[in-house]
Chains A and B, each alone.
Chain A
């Protein structure tokens, strides 16, 4: 039987097991929406902006491990979703984005709402297609899902001209694909794996440096066994949080620019770095020439270009984290004979010393201003038994969340790591909530970043996505202010937001629930109330505006040279009037 392009698209989505898509219509995709309107298998979440659709698909993908799907129209629909595609590309998120295109006869004519979708998305997608003939549509979609989800995952764009969605073709869905020029390697080189195992059993001061690759590969179980078998400490990147249980005694937490003191010290003084699914980002390495000066480096990654891109590697292993770790474990189970604990005793003593010397701290006075770290600590304590999914935006609150919210499992942490996209958190949380309607989904946000995709509150209300947003409201672009304090002599150029909206009223205006905690003593009660509501909630928490994130490695600095607290000049300045002194009444004023 012959089907239209739009019907073929629907059939393909069903066969790929897609349950939810995030979409916003427009002229050239109306045929597709018309078909989606007449069926019940796939939920269509109508977003208020295409960027929201893209981030929701990302949140869906990060929480489920499956490809997220979004559908946008041509021209501005496409340009709006670009940020989400670029974000997904940096963070290796499997995404399939369908974009509408003007009819093939008009392509290149500067038609209404025409944009070169394939050209625009080329540098920020793993691959993209322009479908010129409806007969190629089914195969193209199959290839798109295959490319997005295999190898190092990433976003794939399928651009569908209006006439292709309306033309008819015989529908057959290929059961498998093979692309002669695309053959990701899953099995690691056996010889290299043997070398790695040998190095690991001998090392006195090894460290596992774990990234998002472990999450996407589903290798948490293997990682746990490896760490326990060899008694090695585990550092996680921002993207790797949750890959290893945060409360595990061998977890050193996050490393890098705002990582823990001991995680960074352990990296710097280790004799063997085992990087698994991590890419030696500049926020982790700091000054490359002085990165891990005493260590041999083993690097396991599915993407060959990640290996030796930023740092030299002694034992490179190209392969899937899970597959390679299994191979490694097979060797290590036979060779490790329980003496690892003894071998690494002095290393662990050293790490414990570092932990005691400079723990993560903050001062919360019961009648003083609310400290953001306190809010996150309380949120963690109050929700950890419910295995929540946590999303963040980008900035200070993101780093505090990474430090204080200790995730137990993978696929619980939705954050924008590579691109650092403010406005990511809320729609990503909604995507995860759409995938898991019964779960507790928290979005930790700042007052700056939440306003970048606030419009999606309407989507959350309509589609009954009861995400709990906790806004750490310091009336600043806090991370910008921190850098200005440390490196620009406290000149707050465009970082002070002056007036933020009354988020409680804003939530209510959308038909959601708005709550506020104004004193430290109110935090617990308000958070509990928010968690109990089965509706989208905004919890507005006015926080101390001058709190800074520490430890901090200045950009391009060495890993063992961390700033651990406000420099004296800054401390005295904060007590004084400051350059722009936000009044305590600011939030109240707008309330």
Chain B
């Protein structure tokens, strides 16, 4: 089963290779991995999409926790979460296709962020199914280049705790 694991690590030289090395060394799957600094620049946030049965996921979480540079590990599948991915798609556009390309972008609420006489570069954000869908539709026009960020995800705040937080903020 697919799991999304959110990992907070020390933002320092070598952290990424320790995490990546753990996955390759122990034969765990890694479908996508995205990493960027957090609000606190001394830490980085990784979102790892992986898969495996319950025991493998338990091992992945434990092994990640064991890495000295790892500060926090959350298996997002244990609660509700939202996830998004961005893709940049460069499509070939013959003059007669340009309107079609724009229409498809419009349907998916995607933006054209670069344009040349023969190409559009389209930016689209959404869940993986949405990305797959727009790619399928754009394919007949001819995709010249495609790059995807991999997923990022965050746990949904439960209504109750948000309420409490709001109260706390109000008090402060």
Contacts and interface: CB of A to CB of B under 8 A. Distances in A.
Nearest to B54: A308
A118 interface: yes
B25 interface: yes
Contact of B59 (A127, A180, A181, A305): A305
A307 B13 CA distance: 30
B63 A305 contact: yes
B21 interface: yes
A308 B61 CA distance: 12
B17 A305 contact: no
B69 interface: yes
A179 interface: yes
Given A123-B21, A305-B62, A181 B14 contact: no
B79 to A, nearest CB: 21
Of B25, B68, B69, the most chain A CB neighbours within 10 A belong to B68
Of B13, B62, B65, the most chain A CB neighbours within 10 A belong to B62
Interface string B56-80: 0011001101101111000000000
Contacts of A119: 17
Contact of A130 (B13, B62, B71): B13
B129 interface: no
Interface in B28-81: 55, 58-59, 62-63, 65-66, 68-71
B148 interface: no
Contacts of B13: 130
B156 interface: no
A122 B17 contact: yes
Nearest to A129: B14
**Size range of the chain B interface in the assembly:** 10 to 19
Contact of A181 (B21, B62, B63, B71): B71
Given A118-B14, A123-B25, A181 B66 contact: no
Contacts of B71: 180-181
B59 A309 contact: yes
B85 interface: no
B69 A181 contact: yes
A409 to B, nearest CB: 31
B68 A304 contact: no
A309 B28 CA distance: 13
Nearest to B8: A181
A179 B68 CA distance: 8
Contact of B58 (A118, A130, A180, A308): A308
A112 interface: no
Nearest to A156: B68
Contacts of B69: 181
Contacts of B18: 122
Nearest to B42: A180
A147 interface: yes
A303 interface: yes
B15 to A, nearest CB: 10
A304 B62 contact: yes
A181 B17 contact: no
A306 to B, nearest CB: 9
Nearest to B55: A308
A126 interface: yes
Nearest to B62: A305
B66 A305 contact: yes
Contacts of A118: 14
Given A119-B17, A181-B10, A127 B68 contact: yes
Interface string B149-172: 000000000000000000000000
A147 B68 CA distance: 9
Given A123-B21, A130-B13, A304-B65, A181 B55 contact: no
A126 B59 contact: no
Interface in A165-197: 179-182
Interface string A274-309: 000000000000000000000000000001110111
21 contacts: A118-B14, A119-B17, A122-B17, A122-B21, A123-B21, A123-B25, A126-B68, A127-B68, A130-B13, A179-B68, A180-B71, A181-B9, A181-B10, A181-B68, A181-B70, A303-B66, A304-B62, A305-B63, A307-B62, A308-B55, A308-B58
Closest 10 CB pairs of A and B: A305-B62, A181-B71, A127-B68, A182-B68, A304-B62, A123-B25, A305-B63, A305-B66, A122-B21, A181-B70
Interface of A: 118-119, 122-123, 126-127, 130, 147, 179-182, 303-305, 307-309
